[in-house]
Structure 1
Amino acid sequence: MSYKTLENLRVLIVDDQRPFQLLLKGILYSMGATNIAFVMTGEQALWKCMHGSYDVLFVDYNLGSGKNGRQLLEDLREKKLLHPAAVYMIVTGENQVPMVVGAIEAEPDDYIIKPFSQSVLRTRLVKIQNRKKQLAPIYQAMFDDQPELVIEACKQERQQGSRYHSLCGRIQAETHLKLKQYDEAEALLSETLSFSRTNWALLLQARLCFEQERYEESLELCNEAIDTNRYFAEAFDLKARNLMAQGLMAEAMEVISQAIVISPFSVSRQNLLMDIARDMDDLASLVQASKQIYEITRRAARQEVVHLLNYIRTVIDAASRSEELNQRNKYQQEALMAIHRAKREDTVIRDFDFDLFETLCQARLESLSGQQYLAKKTFATVSDRVTAQIEPEPDPENPDETPPIPHCAADAVLLLNQIGEFEQASALTQKLQTVSGAIDPILEKLFSEQQHRSLSRQASFNELNKQGIQLYKESNYEQALLRFEQALEVAPMNTGSALNFIQTAIQMMADPKRKKPLELVEKCRKTFRIVDNMPLPEHHKVRHQELLQQFNKLKEEKRYSR
């Protein structure tokens, strides 16, 4: 390799410290670089790469309040802005374990800690360039997402006795696993491990065993890898998954917590923590992991609003499940603060109807505070917008355009179940299921858990309502009214049961022998509030109008004047 390592190459320095930019520029000039660009932030670097190609990037890990070096790398890969021969080197003064491990897990081409000498930088850079050149067919096939070509190129390189024999073996084994070619992966890994118990081979063999439900073997391999490297966070992850698969949730929580301490900046790791915390009913860990996922992804390429929504949903769900009033209030305040913060500073909500989401969350919080009527009234103000999300009007100018995912409709279902409008929730859920991509995995779990927790509540409601209907048919109005009243105690805002109560009360009011009729009148008036000016299915609208006319007619007869 020529002494002029960077000659004729386009170089980008991403660092928010001007003195270091100038220092690194001097070093790079001595290595042959003449085409050097500078930016201060990850966002500026992304823009540069979208408008031009760079051969070598030197990126500081910590770039202030914007994207960090890891997030920038993920962005560039996501958008295919790093060509296969490009070198991405993280250059930073960070030496804390979470920072270092987090950066290494993103697999940059190299990671170098400040301060460093010119000779060290040159040696590391030349090493990377040699590898990129030698393995160009492999990197190109990986860039093009052609796994079969990756495997073939790796085989050829290994057969030639390449100095990169071990690296090619790792890439080949990973690709076999990705394609679920377990026999080929096992043969390659067994051969590798027979010569050397390298950590990458131990982890991949452990992954293979896990996917084949050979949990004890997988655990042994994970432990061996961890004994070799106590900062091997991915081995901790897989160990936790093995323990979880065997139902050992407390042990799994202990292990994943260790992994989080080592490297907290992994979305998949935080998702695993959420799964374990959910199974253990550990609300604090569940909320914290959800918040961390949102924070990790805020500056990432996939700035998906769903991470923000799921964080807020998880906090509200935790509030609904908290038995202590102080803890419930704390989660309610956290949800409100997250909503206000997002409205104030988060760019991810610009193309999303966040006002609708906020209104539905507000209604859920009102319900949790015991304000069931106010919650239903709040929903009434946005029900048409929820329906429009599920059944959007086609755009005549773009008839083939895919409609946006109806995120907020899912929150409407959570609210309706919460206030006891089970029929409307079920109908909305059925519509949601016909929309591709409407419910993401975390939201699906929230749905499932809410449904599971409310099974006994729904069963009790259905039984009371059913008994009331049967008693009404038998003209036993006293007992029917009692059952409908009890049903409304279980589901205070249920439209069907409210109308059943009103219908029964009207029958009793029409009886001239009835004592204390004014008490029934007042109960009817209060119950009408549940349905008056509320969004109702068509069959309930018709019934509501009929009952309202009957009730007003009875009042006009002045049979119940005080």
Structure 2
Amino acid sequence: MNFKLARQTRVLVIDDQVLAKGYLKYSLEELGFQNIEYADKVNTALTYIRRNHYDLIVCSYDLQNEQDGYFLYDQLKEQNQLPASTAFVFISAETTADIVHSIVELQPDDFLAKPFTVSELGQRLERLLTRKRALQDVYHLIEDSTLDKALLKLEGFLTEPKNSEFFPLALKLKGELLLACGQYSDAQEFYEAIINVQNFTWAQLGLVKSYIALDKDEEAEKLVIELALKRDSLLAAYDLLAALQIKHQEFEDALENVEIAGQISPRNLHRHTKALDLSRLTHNYESQFEAAKKIVKIAKNSIHDNPDIYLNVARAGIDFAMTSDEQHTKRLIKQSTEYLKQLKSHFPKADIDDQLKVINARLLYLDDETDNAKALLDQLSDNNWETESIEALLDKAKAFHEVGIQEHALKILDVIERRCNQDSTQSHLFLQYVRQEKSEKTEIKLSPKDLNNQAVNQYQRGDLKSALQTFRQAFTIMPKNPSIALNLLQAAAINLQEMSGEEATQTLSGDLIYNCLKTIESGTLDEEQERRYQRVRSVLKNLG
């Protein structure tokens, strides 16, 4: 280790294990580091980092149930509180695949697996700090948000032969700056030139981002599918593929890819949040519930742990229960109630009375106590819509719609849409979901729970056209429910028998029938439903 470099380096060590911190202190002092500070809690570390500039931060990944080290770095990056000139190193005793994936996709400057020797630590830190020092002028310009000047400085750096050992890092940084500056055509040309010399994974991923920004989606898709087959680019490729699919409104495919990536690297909270938004857009209530539960599991004991995430699990469980059979509904209500108990235990002083009233009103409605649900909703004030959380308002809109007060629900959705349009931090996916909710609740007056019952009654009375229309509305908001799909398919088959060819084409599209078949084939039917399904298939086959 270069002792001069070590003595010039200001270090922050973040570790809550006494023995580990002691060994790290000994190792760093042996290597010549003198200006060392220590933090054993995330909040303490955040305070230090906001007040001081550190050249090196060495952080244990395994803080508080292996959570906070990960989320500390994630928060620092997201809130732009980690200077580009600061070297950040993770250390961890755990090297399981999901932890390694989680750390690698965060892209810290380095990662050391315990145990390591003083010599190994010295070699890694010297290499890292030398790179940071060589490019410090560029990093300082990035910290000042003068990215165009940073790019010019980097261009000059790359013309100096004496800097050749740092060219790989500098070239990667140049591509990132071109993208950050919005110079997408130049970025495409740059990445293609790099790939012609050597097929670096980072250059291929950068080229995909350039293609997407330039609306060259076919080229982007072709390349990203190739990258999804490579281990070192797997996660980034799934994310980029999902981004492409979201761009083209292919939300079901995007959800599938986000969920796959979430299984590979399960600690990425942002990815599970995206899965939740995509689940809502696709009316995939089971995936929504699972994503909400994962967010609670991952965020527990971290800086992201708060009452809202527990409330969101309960809300997602109720959404799912609204579209499920009686037996499944009881299990979902029990699970949702359990998360509310966890909330009260973890946050006993949380001010959530109104939000719990809304949730309890929805539970009463599920239990066929509509009048009691309305009475509970009547206790709520309309004066705080501008200050309530978006999720609380959304749940309130659903509750009013379910009990039949449609106009009030739509007014709340208007407020949500306006607030989302004014809030740049709200995701575009969530805004699309709000608009979808508003459109569907304007057209469909009944709740998911009531739609199928009304359609069955219409069908039994022989009012086939009304039944078909109501089943279609039910399938619109419950496209994953095989029972709904079967009922719609059966009503469609009977109606098709009575229609002319042209009238049938106008009334029922092939896509609708295909989607019903897809839902049924991927779901589970009981014996009676299976017999009905086979009869319906025979009718459809005879009709061609």
TM norm structure 1: 0.70
Shift of 1:453: 5.0
Counterpart of 1:358 in structure 2 is: 356
Residues 429-438 or 357-366, more deviating: 429-438
Following superposition of structure 1 onto structure 2, how do residues 451-470 of structure 1 map, counting pairs within 5 Å?
451=438, 454=441, 457-458=444-445
> 2-side partners of 1:438 and 1:231: how far apart?
30
Give the corresponding residue for 2:326.
325
Conservation of the 8 A alpha-carbon contact between 1:405 and 1:437: no
SS of equivalent residue, structure 1 residue 381: coil
Q: Are the equivalent residues in 2 in contact too, given 1:271–1:289 (CA < 8 A)? A: yes
Contact 2:401–2:446 (CA<8 Å) still a contact in 1? no
**Counterpart for residue 2 of structure 2:** 2
* Alignment match, 2:99: 99
Question: What secondary structure sits across from 1:172 in the alignment?
Answer: helix
CA distance in 2, matches of 1:27, 1:123: 12
Amino acid of the residue matched to residue 130 of structure 1? T
2:385 to 390, 414, 421: 390
- Aligned residue in 2 for 1:150: 150
Name the aligned partner's letter for residue 365 of structure 1. Answer: L
- Residues 15 and 63, structure 1, Cα contact 8 Å, conserved in 2: yes
Which amino acid in 2 is paired with 1:149? K
Shift of 1:325: 1.9
Q: Check 1:274–1:369 CA distance in 2 against 1; reply closer, same or farther (3 A cut).
A: same
Residues 438 and 421 of structure 1: is their aligned pair in 2 closer, same or farther, counting only changes over 3 Å? farther
Determine the structure 1 residue equivalent to 2:528: none
Match of 1:90, SS state, is strand
Which residue number corresponds to residue 11 of structure 1? 11
Match of 2:460 in 1: none
Over residues 365-409 of structure 1, what are the superposed CA-to-partner deviations in whole Å (9 max), with x where a residue is unaligned?
A: 211221111111111122x2xx22136xxxxxxxxxxx6756533
1:456 deviation in Å?
5.5
1:434-449 matched pairs, under 5 angstroms: 434-435=418-419, 436-437=422-423, 440-441=426-427, 444=431, 447-449=434-436
Task: Provide the rounded CA distance (Å) in 2 between the counterparts of 1:319 and 1:146.
Answer: 51
- 1:288-334 Cα offsets, whole Å, 9 max, x none, are 22332344456666667655554443232222222x22322222223
| Aligned mates of 1:457, 1:371 — CA distance in 2 | 21
Q: How many residues align?
A: 443
* Cα distance in 2, alignment partners of residues 413 and 250 from structure 1: 25
Task: Give 1:280 shift.
Answer: 5.3
Residue 135 of structure 2 is matched in structure 1 by: 135
Counterpart for residue 231 of structure 2 = 229
Aligned to 2:496: none
In the alignment, is the contact (CA less than 8 A) between 2:185 and 2:214 conserved in 1?
no
| 1:254 Cα deviation after fit | 5.1
Instruction: Report the Cα offset of residue 144 of structure 1.
Output: 2.6
Alpha-carbon distance in structure 1 between the residues aligned to 2:91 and 2:28: 13
Contact 2:417 2:434 in 1 (8 A): no
Residue 397 (structure 2) aligns with: 413
Distance of aligned partners of 1:428 and 1:185 in 2 relative to their CA distance in 1, 3 Å threshold: same
**Distance in 2 separating the partners of 1:277 and 1:412:** 19
How far is the alpha carbon of 1:190 from its aligned partner?
Answer: 1.2
CA contact (8 A) 1:41 1:67 kept: no
Are 1:336 and 2:323 counterparts?
A: no
- For 2:418 and 2:280, the matched residues in 1 are separated by 27
Percent identity of the aligned residues?
22
Distance 2:229 2:388 in 1: 48
Retained in 1: the 8 A contact 2:148–2:181?
no
1:266 aligns to what? 268
1:182 matched to 2:166? no
DSSP-derived class of the 1:458 partner: coil
Question: Does residue 1:30 correspond to 2:14, yes or no?
Answer: no
> Which secondary structure state, in structure 2, belongs to the residue aligned with residue 417 of structure 1?
helix
What is the aligned partner in structure 2 of residue 217 from structure 1? Answer: 219
Instruction: Give the number of the structure whose alpha-carbon radius of gyration is greater.
Output: 1
Assess, with a 3 A threshold, how the Cα gap between structure 1 residues 14 and 374 changes in structure 2: closer, same or farther. Answer: same
Instruction: For 1:409 and 1:209, locate their aligned partners in 2 and report how far apart those are by CA, in whole Å.
Output: 38
Please give the secondary structure, in 2, of the residue aligned with 1:264.
coil
**Residues 450, 171 of structure 1: alpha-carbon distance in 2 compared, 3 angstrom cutoff:** same
Could you give the per-residue CA deviations for residues 504-540 of structure 1, whole angstroms, max 9, x where no partner exists? xxxxxxxxxxxxxxxxxxxxxxxxxxxxxxxxxxxxx
What is the rounded CA distance, in whole Å, between the counterparts of 2:425 and 2:342 in structure 1? Answer: 24
In the TM superposition, residue 46 of structure 1 has moved relative to its aligned partner by 2.5
Residues 76 and 301 from structure 1, CA distance in 2 versus in 1: closer, same or farther, beyond 3 angstroms?
farther
Q: 1:428 to 1:282 in 2, by over 3 A?
A: closer
SS in 1 for 2:6: coil
Q: State the alpha-carbon separation in 1 of the partners of residues 252 and 430 from structure 2.
A: 24
Which residue matches 2:365?
367
Contact 2:296 2:305 (C-alpha < 8 Å) held by counterparts: no
The Cα of 1:454 is off from its aligned counterpart by 4.5
- Shift, 1:278, TM fit: 4.4
Do the aligned residues in 1 keep the contact of 2:239 with 2:257 (CA within 8 Å)? yes
In structure 2, which of residues 172, 194, 200 is the aligned counterpart of residue 198 of structure 1? 200
* Structure 2 residue aligned with 1:41: 41
Contact 1:173 1:189 in 2 (8 A): yes
Structure 2 Cα separation of the partners of residues 79 and 367 of structure 1: 41
Separation of aligned partners in 2, 1:440 and 1:160: 44
Q: Give the match for residue 346 of structure 2.
A: 345
Number of the residue aligned with 2:412: 428
CA spacing shift, 1:245–1:327, aligned 2, 3 Å: farther
Q: 1:207 is paired with a residue of what secondary structure?
A: helix
Whether contact under 8 Å (2:65, 2:301) holds in the other structure is: no
Question: In the alignment, which residue of structure 1 is the partner of 2:290?
Answer: 288
For 2:383, the aligned partner's letter is A
1:404/1:321 CA distance change after superposition, 3 Å: closer
Report the Cα distance in structure 2 between the residues aligned to 1:358 and 1:59, rounded to whole angstroms: 39
- The change in CA–CA distance for 1:79 and 1:426 in structure 2 (over 3 A counts) is closer
Q: Measure how far apart 1:30 and its partner are.
A: 0.8
Residue 208 to residue 76, structure 1, CA distance change in 2 (3 Å): closer
Change (3 A) 1:100 1:148: same
Letter in 2 for 1:187: E
Secondary structure in 2 matching 1:58:
strand
> Closer, same or farther in 2 for the Cα pair 1:211/1:330, shift >3 Å?
farther
For the 8 Å contact 2:292–2:313, the answer to whether it is kept is yes
Deviations 1:196-224 (A, max 9, x none): 11111111111222334433322321233
Gaps (5+ residues) in structure 2? 448-472, 474-544
- Alpha-carbon distance in 2 for matches of 1:61, 1:230: 21
Cα offset for 1:109?
1.5
- For the 8 Å contact 1:5–1:122, the answer to whether it is kept is no
CA separation of 1:105/1:24 partners in 2, compared to 1, >3 Å: closer, same or farther?
Answer: same
The residue identity in structure 1 corresponding to 2:177 is T
CA distance in 1 between counterparts of 2:317 and 2:143 reads: 39
Bigger mean CA deviation after superposition, 70-79 or 86-95: 70-79
Deviations 1:458-489 (A, max 9, x none): 299xxxxxxxxxxxxxxxxxxxxxxxxxxxxx
Which structure 2 residues correspond to residues 463-502 of structure 1 after superposition, within 5 A? Answer: none
Q: Which has the higher helix share?
A: 2
Q: Distance in 2 between matches of 1:432 and 1:218?
A: 34
Distance 1:219 1:447, change over 3 A: closer
Displacement after TM superposition at 1:102 (Å): 0.8
Change (3 A) 1:326 1:209: farther
